[in-house]
Amino acid sequence: RFFLSIFIIISILVPQSLNSHIAKAASFPAVPQALSLTPEVVDPNTGQASLNSIVVDQEGIPHIAYFDPIDGSPIFQGLMYATKYMDTWYREEVDENGGSTPSIALDSAGIVHIAYYDQTNGDLRYATPLEPDGWDIQTIDSVGNVGASPSLVFDPGDQPHIAYLDL
């Protein structure tokens, strides 16, 4: 797999099958010409969600984490999660508190994990889904102003690793 992140605005994941998915926040003329892209509205209820992260599972289903802005302001009201099933996008709120720069990844079982910066408290947070619904939200680091621009990956042993800024 090849993962390319452009200016933290557009995340592109190109699986081996060469099917492409883009989480797009704004117009960006430098998208590679070789990709075949069809824009889709993921959340018609949001303003201009400009901070997002995308991952595509083994079945080709996209999963997107993004923040829902408050009337176009730089303050974000909630962490959102969206996935597509049978041509329909399903959305849910993960964390109602504001924040920014999510990073989404899947473990080997295909379970969604999201690392993100809680800009209200200056903390690194981590969310995983609960059964049958809801999310388990943990503060991973809260010493100082930490957690901006996280990058979440899983190693071959299925352990999460997060790189982030300590402001």
pLDDT value at position 11? Answer: 38
Residue with tokens 């981590």: 126
| Nearest-angstrom CA–CA distance, 148 and 17 | 32
Identity of the residue numbered 91: R
What is the model's pLDDT at position 87? 86
Q: What is the rounded average pLDDT of the residues 15-43?
A: 53
Give 25-75 as a DSSP string: -S--TTS-TTS------S-TT-S----EEEEE-TTS-EEEEEEEESTT-S-
The residue ranking higher by pLDDT, 67 or 106, is 106
**Sign of the torsion formed by the C-alpha atoms of 119, 121, 124 and 128:** negative
The model's pLDDT over 95-145, given as tens digits with 9 standing for 90+, comes to 987 668 899 999 999 999 999 998 888 999 999 999 989 999 999 999 999
Mean pLDDT of 83-96: 90
Residue 95 and residue 145 in contact, taking contact as beta carbons nearer than 8 Å = no
Predicted pLDDT of residue 67: 83
Q: Give the Cα separation of 54 and 117 in Å (integer).
A: 16
Inform me whether the pLDDT recorded for 54 exceeds 90.
Answer: yes
Angstrom distance (rounded) from CA 88 to CA 131: 22
pLDDT band of 29, cuts 50, 70, 90 = very low
Token pair of 74 as six digits: 């730089």
pLDDT of residue 134: 92
